[in-house]
């Protein structure tokens, strides 16, 4: 039983008081104190002026005859023109989750892998086409099949979704092929795509990906307590299947190789240090030791790298259990003016500990994140302790944390992404799976 399954079976409890920090300090955004409005349907409490609608649920029959799978996680939004968008949505389903998957025992010709009983593995992605003007779903269909535990991912500048397997199952362990890869799903493709693993991007416990549109470089997170932060230098920009070099982040200063601040504070809140990148070898990592070998070569350790997103000229990423209190960090990576080029050595990129939570009501286990139209971050909480009380948190450009929404169900929020016009925030509830469209003053609040 993993932590999510444990949390889904717990009884809801409310947090007690907060020592040492006033509630008005916690829940203050750019517009001042803003209490949440209780949702009469018991799904999502929101700030005044915001509203949501459920646009998709697990078990809904899709246009291809399959059903919407459970465990909805990372998601990307893509403009299709004429006020229409495509949402490509991950489903973090493992080989044993056939009953809550999209296919059941139905045949699936374009599946990456199958279990020993011949059934297509239930993990993958589904695509939803939504009209922002009519606020109606036009189509839903499965777009990737046969993978395991598709957790998060990232959008590409050329209109596709990178979906990442948070699983390193080897062939022969109930499945026919190795797992732990990134796959690409074009947002405009109708139906199942040909499942091609982007093996040059490494085999590890992938979480999310983000691309800097100025360089085409891909940044990757890994969900492990001793994870690394990776970048992929593509051999051919915009064509990730053509291969490239995988690297891991290290600090320029010798003797510093840990960002977690668990036993020693090496990167204080607000502090920044110059970084360098080291090449990795053996990136297919059959023994799942890429992070260990990378750290032995001076790569820095992170505490469960999660969502990563490009915005405001920087790469932001969450580390779920980082920080002295082990409640979560948000890092800001500011690329070098010569990012990925030899000249970056004399003008290095900087890594900043942008946010570090010191109390669970400030910020508790950040996961997926995105950048709002007003330049603030929107972060999904993902904690499954004895109290399952997850929120959407906002983070101002100054690093101030405030509350945007509270999930009333015993599950996590995931997959936050904005429509291209900034009018709508889409977010998933993990299980029972739901996709919500949240409207409000996102460009000004």
pLDDT in tens, 224-263: 999 999 999 999 999 999 999 999 999 999 999 999 999 9
| Tens digits of residue pLDDT in 330-364 | 999 999 999 999 999 999 999 999 999 999 999 99
Q: Say which residues have a Cβ less than 8 Å from residue 434's Cβ, sequence separation at least 6.
A: 43, 54, 56, 57, 58, 72, 428
Per-residue pLDDT, averaged over 110-116, amounts to 96
Residue pair 396/402 in contact by the 8 Å Cβ criterion: yes
Q: Where in the chain are the domains?
A: 3-8+21-439
Predicted local confidence at residue 191, as pLDDT: 97
CA dihedral 366, 6, 18, 326 (to 10 degrees): -50
| Per-residue confidence band for 24, with pLDDT thresholds at 50, 70 and 90 | very low
Peptide bond into 342 cis (omega under 30): no
In the chain, pLDDT over 70 holds for what percent of residues?
Answer: 92
The superfamily in CATH containing domain 3-8+21-439 is TolB, C-terminal domain (2.120.10.30)
State yes or no: pLDDT of 156 exceeds 90: yes
Residue 69: CB atoms within 10 Å:
27
| Nearest of 312, 295, 149, 326 to residue 230 by alpha carbon | 295
| Per-residue confidence band for 18, with pLDDT thresholds at 50, 70 and 90 | very low
State yes or no: pLDDT of 128 exceeds 60: yes
What is the distance between the alpha carbons of residues 441 and 445, in angstroms, rounded to a whole number?
Answer: 6
State yes or no: pLDDT of 26 exceeds 60: no
Pairing of strands 32-33, 230-234: unpaired
Q: Which residue has the higher pLDDT, 16 or 364?
A: 364
Half-sphere exposure at residue 108, Cβ-oriented, CA atoms within 13 angstroms: 36
State yes or no: pLDDT of 377 exceeds 90: yes
Predicted local confidence at residue 35, as pLDDT: 87
| Tens digits of residue pLDDT in 181-211 | 999 999 999 999 999 999 999 999 999 999 9
| Tens digits of residue pLDDT in 47-90 | 999 999 999 999 999 999 999 999 999 999 999 999 999 999 99
What is the distance between the alpha carbons of residues 220 and 65, in angstroms, rounded to a whole number?
Answer: 34
pLDDT, averaged across the chain? 92
Task: Write out the DSSP string of 251-265.
Answer: ESSTT--B-S-SSS-
Residue 289: CB atoms within 10 Å:
12
Per-residue pLDDT, averaged over 32-51, amounts to 89
| Tens digits of residue pLDDT in 265-306 | 999 999 999 999 999 999 999 999 999 999 999 999 999 999
Phi-psi region of 362 (alpha: psi -120 to 50; beta: other; left: phi over 0): alpha
Rounded (5°) CA angle 159-162-163: 140
Predicted local confidence at residue 4, as pLDDT: 55
Task: Write out the DSSP string of 370-401.
Answer: EE-TTS-EEEEE---SSS---EEEEE-TT--E
Element (H, E) at 7: helix 3-8
What is the distance between the alpha carbons of residues 355 and 144, in angstroms, rounded to a whole number?
Answer: 35
Tell me the three state secondary structure of residue 118.
Answer: coil
Q: What does the buried/exposed string (b/e) look like for 272-282 if buried means 16 or more CB atoms within 10 Å of the residue's CB?
A: bbebbbeebee
Phi-psi region of 80 (alpha: psi -120 to 50; beta: other; left: phi over 0): alpha
Cα end-to-end span (Å), the chain? 40
Residue pair 41/51 in contact by the 8 Å Cβ criterion: no
| Nearest of 424, 419, 410 to residue 381 by alpha carbon | 410
């Amino acid at each position: 039983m993993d932590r999510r399954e444990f949390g889904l079976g717990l009884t809801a409890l409310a947090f007690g008081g907060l020592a040492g920090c006033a509630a008005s300090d916690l829940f203050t955004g750019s517009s001042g104190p803003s209490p949440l409005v209780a949702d009469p349907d018991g799904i999502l409490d929101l700030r005044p002026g915001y509203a949501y609608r459920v646009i998709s649920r697990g078990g809904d029959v899709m246009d291809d005859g399959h059903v919407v799978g459970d465990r909805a996680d990372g998601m990307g939004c893509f403009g299709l023109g004429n006020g229409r968008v495509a949402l490509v949505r991950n489903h973090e389903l493992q080989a044993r989750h056939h009953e809550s998957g999209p296919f059941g025992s139905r045949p699936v010709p374009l599946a990456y892998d199958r279990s020993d009983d011949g059934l297509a593995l239930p993990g993958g992605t589904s695509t939803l086409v939504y009209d922002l003007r009519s606020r109606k779903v036009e189509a839903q269909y499965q777009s990737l099949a046969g993978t395991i535990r598709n957790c998060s991912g990232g959008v590409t500048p050329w209109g596709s979704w990178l979906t990442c397997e948070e699983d390193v199952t080897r062939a022969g362990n109930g499945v026919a092929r190795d797992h732990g890869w990134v796959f690409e799903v074009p947002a405009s493709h109708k139906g199942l795509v040909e499942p091609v693993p982007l093996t040059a991007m490494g085999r590890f416990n992938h979480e999310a990906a983000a691309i800097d549109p100025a360089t085409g470089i891909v940044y990757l997170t890994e969900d492990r307590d001793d994870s690394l932060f990776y970048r992929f230098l593509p051999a051919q920009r915009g064509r990730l299947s053509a291969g490239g070099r995988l690297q891991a982040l290290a600090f320029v200063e010798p003797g510093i190789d840990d960002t977690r601040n668990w036993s020693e504070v090496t990167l204080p809140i607000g502090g920044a240090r110059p970084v360098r990148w080291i090449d990795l070898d053996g990136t297919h990592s059959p023994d799942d030791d890429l992070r260990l070998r990378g750290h032995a070569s001076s790569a820095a350790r992170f505490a469960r790298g999660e969502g990563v997103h490009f915005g405001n000229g920087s790469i932001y990423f969450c580390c779920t259990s980082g920080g002295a209190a082990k409640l979560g960090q948000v890092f800001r990576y500011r690329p070098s003016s010569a990012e990925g080029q030899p000249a970056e050595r004399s003008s290095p990129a900087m890594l900043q500990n942008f946010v570090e939570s010191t109390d669970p009501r400030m910020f508790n286990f950040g996961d997926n994140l995105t950048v709002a139209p007003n330049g603030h971050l929107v972060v999904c909480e993902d904690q499954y302790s004895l109290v399952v009380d997850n929120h959407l948190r906002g983070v101002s450009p100054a690093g101030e944390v405030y509350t945007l929404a509270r999930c009333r169900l015993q599950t996590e929020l995931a997959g936050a992404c904005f429509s291209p016009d900034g009018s709508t925030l889409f977010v998933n509830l993990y299980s029972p799976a739901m996709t919500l469209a949240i409207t409000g003053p996102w460009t000004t609040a």
